[in-house]
Amino acid sequence: DGGITQSPKYLFRKEGQNVTLSCEQNLNHDAMYWYRQDPGQGLRLIYYSQIVNDFQKGDIAEGYSVSREKKESFPLTVTSAQKNPTAFYLCASSIKGRRNYEQYFGPGTRLTVT
């Protein structure tokens, strides 16, 4: 079945360590996104990529980095520069080129940094 996978479901790290969250899709979608959810807040866009080898900062990109070397994969690295990394992270994808696209979401990764 086509879909988006994120791994792991739960991730624990010590403060000061970089950590990479995985996102893979087999929907043949061109666009991919990373969102962050914090309690009491809406989903906030971290980074998005419209095509391989290209990506743009979202609204809260500071302390994060991404790569898009393959169409299927869009890993997110949470660096030690991110001041409040503990959060729930969602990856999504969509078909490119349609104004009325919908986004397909993965199951999310809950990151806890202590």
Residues that bind other proteins (CB under 8 A): 4, 31, 33, 35, 40-45, 48, 50, 58-59, 90, 94, 97-108
To the nearest whole angstrom, how small is the minimum distance from the Cβ of residue 18 to other proteins?
A: 26
At 85, the amino acid letter reads P
Sign of the Cα pseudo-torsion (95, 101, 102, 105, in order): positive
In the complex, the smallest distance separating the C-beta of residue 63 from other proteins, rounded to whole angstroms, is: 18
Six-digit token pair at 99? 């104004």
Q: Which is nearer to other proteins, 45 or 80 (CB)?
A: 45
Q: Of 50 and 86, which CB lies nearer to other proteins in the complex structure? A: 50
HSE, side-chain direction, 13 A CA sphere, residue 13: 22
Q: CA–CA separation, 37 vs 18, rounded Å? A: 19
CB of 94 to other proteins, least distance (A): 7
